[in-house]
Structure 1
């Protein structure tokens, strides 16, 4: 892919989807900056792919500024930014304000702050730049059992949509990656929801990374490693009440914990 950008940043890249994407981009010749709170993990991935580790918080304004500055020094220009870091707590109405604040910061505001730091420079350079948001199928559908994850992933998709609608004519490519079950450390924490994800076909991180790389070729907005998500999304839009009844039925069938039993 001769038009592929040369410099990339991947957050949450010490493991899981982020690590697989970093490896895939490096294999295609991109120079990659690896970011994660897990400094040792980030260093290990960077050493493996011949990239640069910039450990730290990719959600805070200061953390983003540091990451962008270090990556720009190393790469010269950030052509691709994969905002992959994410977190879930698997709580419903009992989610605390502190948990809400943390999940909003990581799953939503990290994208906003990164775009705020990157897009002006891309526009000043005459356009271009690729901003990839790992939003999850929960951002198009929902996630039974995890209120803050569902809300923030919807927000991540909405922000990506706004960003694309606003700047695509200036050459900024925005893509929303929305997988369902992926075999990462996070899937071990979903409890009663795990059988549902397994039934829909749990993918390996490398499979997701391959779909992401292929999506670089056509700049599609929705990147769906599980193609059936498009059908679910259409069904949700076509008949919201039927969709919500089905999701409620899954909640009951799976026995996902909720207030009031």
Structure 2
């Protein structure tokens, strides 16, 4: 793997302050959130966010709104069919069972279940909003599905603290890719970052891996913004993503 499977750290974190301004919608039967830019600064491109295991919630909606403020029509899709996890699960939670079976035991969150949801989101953006240029943002769990869906129309990618991305999935992303990594991250540790560098260098596409000090897995979406170093890393990771899309997607 280019990154390890998700774990307990994938639900730990803090809520951001703010009031989301987008709207809850349905993409087929799936929950989604759409943030629409002002006509005055709207760009000829859209962003699909594939979120972490907490899915569509306060923090991810505020981030989608930020992308919209920068001119990008932005959609978050719920890849868990309504079975997302809550913030700060108690210790001992069986993460592997949830991934493979779902909370009910018959609702898995494997690629066989998630891929069709991502495909539906891409189709929605292209058919309902006439999107011609599409960037993908993957946080933690979502990183795998940004990598997997280059073949379905994601043209530029940004991944933050990715989890369980297979090496062949990273190799298959034949497009510009930017990664934001945490200094302390058992899921995307140094050896996985270095292996990812090797793979991306061979791909021959523009790539970037930025390492943020004194932060942990999940910092870009669940950090403690009252701490200066964490707030800085979160804000810079967002700017990293926007600059990447402004350069390679527009």
TM-score by length of 2: 0.45
Higher-Rg member (1/2): 1
Bigger share in strand:
2
TM-score by length of 1: 0.43
